A and B are shown apart, each in its own frame.
Chain A
Amino acid sequence: MTESIVLERLSPARGDHASVSSLIRQRVYILPTRPGFLLCVAMFTMLLGAVNYNNSMAYILTFLLVSVFMVCMLHTYRNLAGLVISGAKVKPVFAGEMAGFPVIIDNRDGTPCPALKLVCHPSRKAKRAAQQSYQPVMVNLQASQWQQVEIPAPTINRGLLPLERVIISSCFPLGLFRAWSYIHLEEQCVVYPKPAGIDQFPAPVAAQEQGQEGVKSGANDFAGFRQYHPGDSIRNIAWKALAREQPLLVKRFSGDGSHTLMLAWEDVGHLPDIELRLSQLCRWILLAENQGWIYGLEIPGFQIDPAQGTLHKNRCLEALARYGIHHAD
């Protein structure tokens, strides 16, 4: 379980935060923006004018601006302070795609926090490697509302991509101050290998022992329809039924399991590079899933029996992504 981060507030937070797991306190920084500094100059000029003309209303206006400036700082600070930030499950992507790290921002105050800006702030090295700009994400939070946003980050290699430092900042309401804070979330995105390779499937294996009808429906004998459930092969959808405006149905077969594959490390042994091998296996898995095969995977350190379905596919792909990577957990 990842921890949540609460952005620190000057006043001690009330006990109600204690209800949600453990919270890491994180400091909020604040500095005037360039317009803020410019206003300081303007205010000083106005003060000179007020003193020179001894004009009370000019004094008042100047002091009003000064004090709005100060109050604005509090408002900007308050936009961030007290926010509770936590990560959520990261959807895996293929290498080269944009990873989206979901971040949940929870505003527990009775005041809205408009125009929060989140941007990935990677180390120099990662930035150089990515060669792509990190797009900021804008979030508007109403009072007592939470929202999930995805922070995009480019991926290059397969493996585990950790979420870099994220900067959350706000200039609301007047743009005279910018408050920001750094968020370190222990999130990582599983990056599957990029599907590639031109090899054909290895030879199918014979049916296994009885008692597995449930998982290997995929072949010949038509055995009726059932409702579609997420994870069913698209190939088996009864498109004709759909055309008749019936609900999404899936054709069911009772087969003998001749379409069973075992994708093994040896099958790609001829490829020169580990990454190329993984890419080939990745492509095969996607193909097999798409074509309704029942497939298993066998690579050093990981083996899975033949099966089918989105979950199975994801497990296979994750195994490829984690190949050769030692992870702490």
Chain B
Amino acid sequence: MNTSPQELLITHTYKEIDAIIAASNRIILGKEHAIRLALACLFARGHLLIEDLPGVGKTTLSHVLASSLGLGFQRIQFTSDLLPADILGVSIYSRETGAFSFHPGPIFAQVILADEINRATPRTQSALLEAMEEQQVTIEGETRLLPEPFFVIATQNPSHQVGTFPLPESQLDRFMMRIELGYPDSGAERELLMGSDRRELLKHIRPVIKPERLIEIQHLAGKIHASSALLDYLQDLLEYSRKSNEFQNGLSPRAGLAILHAAKSWALMEGHAEVLPEDIQSILPGVIGHRLHSLENLNTSSKGLANHLIKQVPIP
């Protein structure tokens, strides 16, 4: 079998990514699938929303990702009194220079952890989300580009907790994926209890790749081949979600793009030179969980809903 340069590149990258996952796995125990999804989201230049109870390792996950990729990391704890300026930055008059100088906010980092995003007011939320969408911020008429790569991991407590402002659906759509971490299984839990402090371990993480390499990987992921047969399958999925009466709203075209991009990254992480229906099926729960809602049973989990969708649509 002769291999094309593209395939060689993919194999090489695939090994690199495996190393990143292995490194992360040492710290976050028993959450390999979540890590993979998060990475797929990152490679597809999407942003990630983690929704789970406090204390299951959301912060640790974002920390690990940033460190193992060698990226600048900023954590913003959202509270109800957080103002947009606290995130974006402010211009302050400097007496020495006699001019306004801009003090960039925490958003000017490569990886942002927006912790408990639903605790802030909608106004602050949208400041972050708009920056996220456009990859730039406009403050006092001046547009400033955000660094590249730029990756937001927002965490959100389950919406029924008190004192929260749930993100409206239109804002949720800006996250490529929403994942849940869930409780660790018993084996991982035991290891967690027996092992050393996770925060200590975090300090010792060495970056596996350089940020420039990450941009290359993002480029490569975009180039993974999606055949018309695969697009047929994706369209069937979208069509089913729109046509069937089981969901409140069908998947938007933006959701379709998100699925495709995420599936491409996933294919790269699996070492495939082309996107397969399996790749779509793997990332589907993460991508559609926050976009699709069952009409009948509001409590259906995103995973259940995605599985239902997968089961209903035959692969063409």
Of A169-177, A222-230, A285-293, A297-305, the stretch lying at the interface with chain B is A222-230
Q: A9 to B118, alpha carbons, bound, how many Å?
A: 54
Question: Residue on B with the closest CB to A88?
Answer: B245
Nearest opposing residue in chain A for B249, CB measure: A89
Contact present for B123 and A223 (CB under 8 Å)? yes
Using A227-B130, A229-B170 as known contacts, say yes or no to A104 and B123 having CB atoms under 8 A apart: no
Residues from chain A with a CB closer than 8 A to the CB of B240 are 20
* Contact indicator A87/B130 (Cβ below 8 Å): no
Which A38-96 residues have a C-beta within 8 angstroms of B?
86-89
- Specify the chain A residue showing the minimal Cβ separation from B313: A19
Q: Would A224 and B123 count as touching, CB distance under 8 A?
A: yes
Point out the residues of chain B lying under 8 angstroms from A86, CB to CB: 243, 245
Q: Is B246 at the interface (CB under 8 A from chain A)?
A: yes
Q: With the chains together, A327 CA to B169 CA distance in Å?
A: 30
Q: How far is the CA of A270 from the CA of B50 in the complex (A)?
A: 53
B233 neighbours in A (Cβ, 8 Å)? none
Number of A-B residue pairs, CB cutoff 8 Å, is 41
Cα–Cα, bound, A16→B315 (Å): 11
* A-chain residues with CB within 8 Å of residue B163 when the two chains form the complex: 211
Q: Is the CB of B245 within 8 A of A214?
A: no
CB of B122 within 8 Å of the partner chain = yes
Known A-B contacts A16-B314, A19-B312; the reply to A1 vs B245 at CB < 8 A is: yes
Q: Which of B126, B243, B246 contacts A226 (CB 8 A)?
A: B126
Q: Return chain B residues, CB-CB under 8 Å to A89.
A: 245
Q: Give Cα A131–Cα B246 distance, bound, in whole angstroms.
A: 35
Cα(A226)–Cα(B84), bound, Å? 12
A221 at the A/B interface (Cβ < 8 Å)?
no
Interface presence of A33 (CB below 8 A): no
Instruction: Give the residue name and chain of the B residue nearest to A252 (CB).
Output: B123
A73→B243 CA distance, assembly (Å): 31
Is A21 part of the binding interface, using a Cβ–Cβ cutoff of 8 Å? yes
Task: Give the interface centre of B163, B165, B245 by most chain A CB atoms within 10 Å.
Answer: B245
Give Cα A2 to B245, complex, Å: 7
Closest 10 A-B residue pairs measured CB to CB? A1-B245, A229-B170, A214-B165, A214-B122, A19-B314, A2-B245, A1-B246, A226-B126, A104-B243, A19-B312
18 A-B residue pairs with Cβ-Cβ distance under 8 Å, sorted by A, are: A1-B295, A2-B245, A16-B314, A19-B314, A20-B244, A21-B246, A87-B245, A88-B245, A89-B245, A104-B243, A213-B121, A214-B121, A214-B122, A214-B165, A226-B123, A229-B168, A229-B170, A230-B170
Extra 7 A-B pairs, beta carbons < 8 Å, given A104-B243, A214-B122:
A1-B295, A1-B296, A87-B245, A211-B163, A213-B121, A214-B121, A227-B130
